[in-house]
Structure 1
Amino acid sequence: MTQKPSNAFIGASWIALLAGMTAYNVGLWNATMPLNEKGYYFTILLYGLFAAVSLQKTVRDQLEGIPVTNIYYGLCWFATLSAVLLLAVGLWNATLTLSEKGFYAMAFMLSLFAAIAVQKNTRDSRLDGPAAGSAAEPPLPRLD
């Protein structure tokens, strides 16, 4: 049985996500690197966020007995790890100070962690909501 997350944890998760993403993007905006390099780092952030949320969902689905194919599960792990690796390689080869490299790495990891927490909170809140078919939430239409 899943407990509904507290409003404080939901708020903290959203604040962490917005803080991480905002800090990372403000850092990119103010950086003195070429536009194509800024685009690389921005794309890695978006890729990493999507991959981390997708991985969290597949892990959670498996724990709840919802079928997940092994290929998709493996792709989620590959995507998440490759996003972190691509950021690490980019920062390793960047002509940034160590403090700037650390800033981007920490803002990136905060964003990934917070995205997972926000997705978990959203799912947990929805699971504890009104039952499907009740007056508050109409049943979903069949697609077959």
Structure 2
Amino acid sequence: MQSKEFFFLTWAAFLVSFSFVLIAIWNTDWMLVERGFYTICLGWITFSAFSLVKVLRDRNEGIKTAPEYLFLAWLSMIVSFSIGMIAVWNTEWIFVEKGYYWMGILFTTYTSVALAKVIRDRQVYLEEHKEVQDAIIEKEE
């Protein structure tokens, strides 16, 4: 199992990446519909990344997954990421501003994948080491 520090650093990286893009979106002079569109894209990308990691992990661990769900997870990830990137490309912003949002989308996608993996690794470890989970529960009480 990874250390608590690694677990919290992964959470911090995800929250920072998601927050930086979200704060940037909502501190612009764009119309509300534009801010809403980019916010929804960011949420969709994040959810798609979590869902894709879950279905791939389930499949690799021998947990039965429907091929249709695997297809939809891949499709959702590709479509959400593409829409986000193409939407930024089609703006009239200067290239530096486009780069900021592209990097924000990439960083959020990567940290979403990393966070999903870390959460699942922690869950598997705690299930395999029940005594560790019992000790954690005792400390909390």
TM-score range, shorter chain: 0.7 to 0.9
Which residue does 1:139 correspond to in 2? none
User: How far off its partner does 1:64 sit?
Assistant: 0.3
Counterpart residue number, 1:71? 68
> In structure 1, what is the equivalent of residue 38 of structure 2?
41
Higher relative contact order (CA 8 A, sep 6+): 1
Give the RMSD, CA atoms, in angstroms. 2.0
Q: d(CA) in 2 for partners of 1:47 and 1:34?
A: 20
Residue type at the aligned position of 1:34: M
Q: CA deviation at 1:6?
A: 2.2
Which runs of 5 or more structure 2 residues have no equivalent in the other structure?
135-141
Aligned residues: 134
What TM-score, normalized to structure 2? 0.86
- 2:16 aligns with 19
Identity, % of aligned positions: 27
Tell me if 1:56 matches 2:53. yes
TM-score by length of 1: 0.85
Runs of 4+ more than 3 Å apart: 130-136
Distance 2:28 2:64 in 1: 44
Indicate the structure with greater helix content: 2
